[in-house]
Structure 1
Amino acid sequence: MFLKQLSLLNYKNLAQIEFEFDTKINCFVGKNGVGKTNILDAIYHLAYGKSYFNPLAVQNIKHGEEYFVIDGLLDKNNKEEKIVCSLKKGQKKTIKRNGKVYDKLSEHLGLIPLVIISPSDADLIVEGSETRRKFIDSVIATLDSSYLQLLIQYQKTLSQRNALLKYFAVNQIFDADNLSIYNEQLSSSGQLIFEKRKQFLAEFVPIFEKHHANISGGNEKVALKYESQLFESDLLSLLEDNLQKDRIIQYTSVGIHKDDLIFEIDGFPIKKFGSQGQQKSFLIALKLAQFEFMKKQSGELPILLFDDIFDKLDETRVQKIVTMVNDAVFGQIFISDTHAERTELIIRKTHQSYKIFNI
């Protein structure tokens, strides 16, 4: 699978631009601020139906315009697939496949397996647990359409239960039977999500450890640990045991919305004890593991986006990536960089076909 063509209209700072891509390596080079990363984000948008960098869809419309359009042409199993993602202010975003609008985003997820490696991945280390949960959920949902529906159902029930707890507090009443309905629903979807996350990480962690050992030379011991209250007890029991606390604080204090993914190096939190270089190696290994996992599950090579990483990596890490390209580990690759000469020097070492686009 590869992306043949891309056309953008009013996407972020890009008024109108079109590309015809190489099947292997494509590089966008130019000064900071010209829109290189925005092109990568548009490709991500085609795959996931949303921006990687800006979750507010309307903010992806070029300033002063009323809409954006992302138009892509894929070659998937030697068959052309035309994907169009568009948004007009005040209207719902639409994604079309070969002219037909999807009823649900979940129907589109997985059509274009894709992984992005970006400096903003540092958020996975420095931000809170929600960022890491989103990473887990994004990988699983791309390969399991039922998982996204479980997440939507869980979040809806959670909001309803929280609203009920607030209603009880404001009106100084309590209805155990009414609350138990939400407890049952939350437990049902929450337990399934927990099991799917647990199964995913059991497969994912060994892949991550392998990639980290390759990048770092095996000199450090890293760990990814799944942290969940549901290891202690089933969700229904947890909800019942924490009922008095929830009534006082007026929201649900236990559940899979509290799960986290713990990042460690040599037994300590990498956020506090990892150097910048160690953190970079950790994150690249995490994303390469995502790539391999998606490749294994989908049976095809995901598209790989490298956002400005040559500027952030030392020569040893860059050489590791070049070696993987040479070994045909990756399929189609898109790269953004500020230095055209550096980019061409690096990609020539891969001995693969390429195109360079000056933005």
Structure 2
Amino acid sequence: MWLQKLSLLNFKNYAEAELSFSETVNAFAGDNGAGKTNLLDAIHYLCLCKSYFNPIDVQQILQGADFFMLQGVFERAAQTEVIACSLKRSQKKQFKRNKKEYQRLADHIGLFPLVMISPYDISIIIEGSEERRKFVDNSISQTDNHYLDELIAYNKHLQNRNSLLRQIADTGRYDPQLLEIFNERLVASGQRIFEKRKMFMEAFIPVFNKHYHYLTEDAEQVELVYESQLLHDDFAGLLQRNTERDRILERTTTGIHKDELSFTIHGLPMKKFGSQGQQKSFLIALKLAQYTYLQQQKGFKPLLLLDDIFDKLDEKRTRKLMQMVSHDDFGQIFITDTNAERILRIFDDISVPVKLFNVDKGTVTS
């Protein structure tokens, strides 16, 4: 799978742009704020129905415009596929595949798999557990189109149970049978999500270790561990034993919404004890493992988007990374950097051709 053409109209800082890409490496060079990352985000939008950086769709519209339109021409399974997205202010977002509109955006997720590596990914390490769960959920949902539905159902059941707990606290009326009904719904959905997360992590962790060791040449000892209350306890039993605690706190304190990923370096938390370069190497290994997992599950190569990838990586790790992603295991790549000469030098050193685009204030030239 690869992206042949990209068209933008009134998207972020682009009034209009049309680009044709190489099947291998494509690089966008320009000053900070020129719009390089916005081009990556347009590709992300077409593949996963949303911005990588901003969940509010209307804020993607060029200032002063009433709508935006994106179109991508992909080659997938030896067929040409045209994906189009448009949004008018105060109207519903439209997504079309070969001129046919989707009834559910979830049906599009996973058809054009994509992995993006961005400076914003540091939140996976330094922010709360929700960011790490989102990383896991994003990986699984691109390979399992029922997973998103299961997540939506679980969150709905969780919200309902929490509402009931607050209602019990407010009124003093406690109906154990009603709570048990909510428990059963939460357990059924939560157990299915847990099983899928567990299977994913069992496949994912060895691939992550392989990529990290290659990237750093075993310079550090790191560990990635999946932590879930359901690894050690029955979910229904957990809810039952914590009923009084949940009633006091007026929220559900056990379940897969408490799942966590533990990141350590030399046995210590990566968040506190990893340098910026070590944290970035860890993140890159996470995302490359995500790429490998998607490729194994889908049977073809996803798109790889590398935003400002050379920042905070030393020359040795940069070279190793570029050698890795330019290998046959990887497909089409999009890279942004402020230094065009650096891009050309890096790929010249490893004898890999690159198509370079210069970006200046929302204007792109190749």
- Asked if Structure 1 and Structure 2 have the same fold, meaning a TM-score greater than 0.5 normalized by the shorter chain, the answer is yes
Task: Write the mapping of 1:44-55 to structure 2, written as runs, cut at 5 A.
Answer: 44-55=44-55
Match of 1:358 in 2: 358
Match of 2:99 in 1: 99
Q: Say which is worse superposed, 334-343 or 128-137, in terms of deviation.
A: 334-343
Equivalent position SS for 1:16: strand
Shift of 1:168: 1.9
Alignment pair present for 1:349 and 2:349: yes
8 Å Cα contact 1:22-1:353 kept in structure 2: no
Counting aligned pairs with the same residue, the percent is 52
Q: Say which is worse superposed, 197-206 or 324-333, in terms of deviation.
A: 324-333
Alpha-carbon distance in 2 for matches of 1:159, 1:346 = 50
Equivalent position SS for 2:53: coil
Match of 2:363 in 1: none
**CA distance 1:161–1:326, change in 2 (3 Å):** closer
Match of 2:140 in 1: 140
Task: Write the mapping of 1:1-359 to structure 2, written as runs, cut at 5 A.
Answer: 1-359=1-359
8 Å Cα contact 1:322-1:349 kept in structure 2: no
Shift of 1:170: 1.9
Shift of 1:195: 0.9
Amino acid in the other structure paired with 1:332: Q
8 Å Cα contact 1:73-1:82 kept in structure 2: yes
Shift of 1:63: 2.2
Alpha-carbon distance in 2 for matches of 1:261, 1:309 = 23
Q: Say which is worse superposed, 132-141 or 281-290, in terms of deviation.
A: 281-290
Amino acid in the other structure paired with 2:16: Q
Q: Say which is worse superposed, 67-76 or 84-93, in terms of deviation.
A: 84-93
Equivalent position SS for 2:157: helix
Equivalent position SS for 1:143: coil
Alpha-carbon distance in 1 for matches of 2:98, 2:140 = 25
Alpha-carbon distance in 2 for matches of 1:236, 1:68 = 47
The alignment's C-alpha RMSD in Å is 1.3
Alpha-carbon distance in 2 for matches of 1:280, 1:82 = 35
Deviation string, structure 1 residues 98-151 (Cα, Å, up to 9, x no partner): 111112222111111111111111111000000000000000010011111110
Q: Any gaps of 5 or more consecutive residues in structure 2?
A: 360-366
Amino acid in the other structure paired with 1:98: N
Shift of 1:47: 1.1
**CA distance 1:47–1:326, change in 2 (3 Å):** closer
Alpha-carbon distance in 2 for matches of 1:322, 1:306 = 11
Deviation string, structure 1 residues 153-196 (Cα, Å, up to 9, x no partner): 00111111111212222222112222211110000010111111
Q: Say which is worse superposed, 123-132 or 216-225, in terms of deviation.
A: 216-225
Q: Any gaps of 5 or more consecutive residues in structure 1?
A: none
8 Å Cα contact 2:276-2:312 kept in structure 1: no
Amino acid in the other structure paired with 1:195: E
TM-score (norm 1): 0.97
Shift of 1:326: 4.4
TM-score (norm 2): 0.95
8 Å Cα contact 2:72-2:83 kept in structure 1: yes
Equivalent position SS for 1:145: coil
Alpha-carbon distance in 1 for matches of 2:75, 2:326 = 22
The number of residues matched between the two structures is 359
Alpha-carbon distance in 1 for matches of 2:202, 2:322 = 29
8 Å Cα contact 2:344-2:354 kept in structure 1: no
**CA distance 1:271–1:325, change in 2 (3 Å):** closer
Equivalent position SS for 1:19: strand
Alpha-carbon distance in 1 for matches of 2:350, 2:158 = 49
Alpha-carbon distance in 1 for matches of 2:89, 2:243 = 43
Amino acid in the other structure paired with 2:53: F
Equivalent position SS for 1:6: strand
Shift of 1:325: 4.0
Q: Say which is worse superposed, 154-163 or 133-142, in terms of deviation.
A: 154-163
Shift of 1:90: 1.9
Equivalent position SS for 1:352: coil
Shift of 1:348: 2.4
Q: Say which is worse superposed, 260-269 or 88-97, in terms of deviation.
A: 88-97
Alpha-carbon distance in 2 for matches of 1:54, 1:220 = 34
Deviation string, structure 1 residues 214-262 (Cα, Å, up to 9, x no partner): 1111132211111111123121111111111111221111110111111
Equivalent position SS for 1:323: helix
Deviation string, structure 1 residues 194-222 (Cα, Å, up to 9, x no partner): 11101100010000001111111113221
Shift of 1:277: 1.6
